[in-house]
C-alpha cells in the first residue's frame, strides 16, 4: 500500500521494477483504508464491543490469513499506539466511518497523527527521510539486512560501504530544555563545532515540552543548541521513542519550562 502523497512516483518505481521480472502490476483503486488508532479510542459503550470483535477477528485473520467479510483488518498503524488499519471496498468506507463515529470514536486529522508518530519515534517521508537520504542516517539501519552477504536487494551496492565504514550523520531525538517550539529546518549547533538540522519538530502534549528529530554529525554528544528565530536554545539528545502507551520514556522529562 503506497502513501497517498507519493502514489504517482511509487507506482512509477514499482512499474520500472516490473519490467525486469515479468510481474503484472494492477492498481486497486476500488479499495479504501480506515486507520483507527489509540488504546483508549474505542473503549466506551458499544465501541468496546466493536473493538473486541475487531480484535478477535484480526487475530484470527493473522493466524489463518483470512479476510473478514471482504475486509482486511490489520494490527498496524502509524501513531505508535494500539490500533487497527482496515482495508475495505471503497463503497464501505463512509458508512464504516460514520458507524465508528456513532460509537464515540472521534475523527482526527493529519496534525494529530503527526504529533503522535513523532512522540512514538516514527519517521515521516519528506521530513526525516526521502530519496536524498540513506537508512543509516535516518534511524532506519535496523530495516536493512546486510547478512547474509549473498542476499541481493536494490541499493545494496550503495549501502555496503556505509555499513562497513559508518554513516557520517545520524538521526537523533531532541528534547528542548528551554522554552520554545522546535520546527523543521531549524539549525542545530554542536558543541565544539559542526551543525545539523531539525527534520521534524512539534510540541509534545504528553511530555509538555517540545521534541524533535534532528540529523546531526555522527559524533554529536548529549547536548546541543537549536537556533530558534535567532535565539540559541538548549536541548538534550535522547533516544526515541519519546512516548509509548501514553507514558514518557524520557527520564526526567518533566520540570519547569
User: Is residue 84 over pLDDT 90?
Assistant: no
Identify the band that residue 146 occupies on the pLDDT scale cut at 50, 70 and 90.
very high
Q: pLDDT at position 121, please?
A: 95
Question: If you write DSSP's letter for every residue of 103-114 in order, what string do you get?
Answer: TTPPP--HHHHH
**What is the per-residue pLDDT across 182-235, written as a single tens digit (0 to 9) for each?**
999 999 999 999 999 999 999 999 999 999 999 999 999 999 999 999 999 999
Q: What is the mean pLDDT of the chain?
A: 86
Q: Give the phi and the psi of residue 91 in degrees, each rounded to 5.
A: -65, -20
Q: pLDDT at position 250, please?
A: 87
Sequence-ordered list of residues with C-beta below 8 angstroms from that of 76, at least 6 positions apart, any chain: 84, 85
In angstroms, the Cα distances linking 2 to 7, 33, 109, 154 are 6, 11, 19, 18
Q: pLDDT at position 65, please?
A: 36
CA distance linking residue 64 with residue 211, whole number of Å: 41
CA distance linking residue 14 with residue 4, whole number of Å: 15
- Per-residue cell: 4: 497517498
CA distance linking residue 209 with residue 256, whole number of Å: 10
Sequence-ordered list of residues with C-beta below 8 angstroms from that of 3, at least 6 positions apart, any chain: 10, 125
Q: pLDDT at position 254, please?
A: 45
Overall pTM surpassing 0.75 (yes/no) = yes
In a 3-state reduction of DSSP, which class is residue 36? strand
Mean pLDDT for 76-82 is 78
231-238 and 169-176: which strand pairing?
A: antiparallel
Q: Where is average pLDDT lowest: 60-69, 85-94, 152-161?
A: 60-69
**What is the per-residue pLDDT across 21-33, written as a single tens digit (0 to 9) for each?**
888 999 999 999 9
83-89 and 169-176: which strand pairing?
A: unpaired
Amino acid at each position: 500500500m503506497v502513501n497517498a502523497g507519493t502514489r504517482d512516483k511509487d507506482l512509477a518505481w514499482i512499474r520500472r521494477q516490473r519490467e525486469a521480472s515479468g510481474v503484472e502490476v494492477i492498481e486497486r483503486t476500488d479499495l479504501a483504508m480506515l486507520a483507527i488508532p489509540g488504546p483508549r479510542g474505542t473503549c466506551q459503550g458499544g465501541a468496546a464491543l466493536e473493538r473486541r470483535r475487531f480484535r478477535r477477528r484480526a487475530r484470527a485473520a493473522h493466524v489463518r490469513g483470512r479476510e473478514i467479510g471482504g475486509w482486511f483488518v490489520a494490527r498496524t498503524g502509524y501513531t505508535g499506539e494500539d490500533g487497527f488499519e482496515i482495508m475495505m471496498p471503497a463503497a464501505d468506507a463512509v458508512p464504516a466511518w460514520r458507524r465508528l463515529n456513532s460509537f464515540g470514536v472521534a475523527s482526527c486529522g493529519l496534525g494529530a497523527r503527526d504529533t503522535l508518530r513523532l512522540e512514538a519515534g516514527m519517521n515521516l517521508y519528506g521530513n526525516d527521510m526521502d530519496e536524498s537520504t540513506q537508512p543509516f542516517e535516518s534511524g532506519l539501519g535496523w530495516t536493512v539486512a546486510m547478512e547474509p552477504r549473498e542476499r541481493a536487494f536494490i541499493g545494496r551496492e550503495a549501502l555496503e560501504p556505509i555499513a562497513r565504514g559508518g554513516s557520517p550523520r545520524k538521526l537523533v531525538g531532541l528534547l528542548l530544555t528551554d522554552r520554545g517550539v522546535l520546527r523543521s529546518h531549524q539549525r542545530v549547533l554542536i558543541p565544539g563545532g559542526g551543525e545539523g538540522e531539525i527534520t521534524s519538530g512539534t510540541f509534545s502534549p504528553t511530555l509538555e515540552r517540545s521534541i524533535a528529530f534532528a540529523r546531526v554529525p555522527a559524533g554529536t554528544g548529549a547536548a546541543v543548541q537549536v537556533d530558534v528565530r535567532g535565539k540559541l536554545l538548549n536541548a538534550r539528545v535522547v533516544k526515541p521513542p519519546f512516548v509509548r502507551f501514553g507514558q514518557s520514556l524520557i527520564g526526567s522529562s518533566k520540570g519547569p519550562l
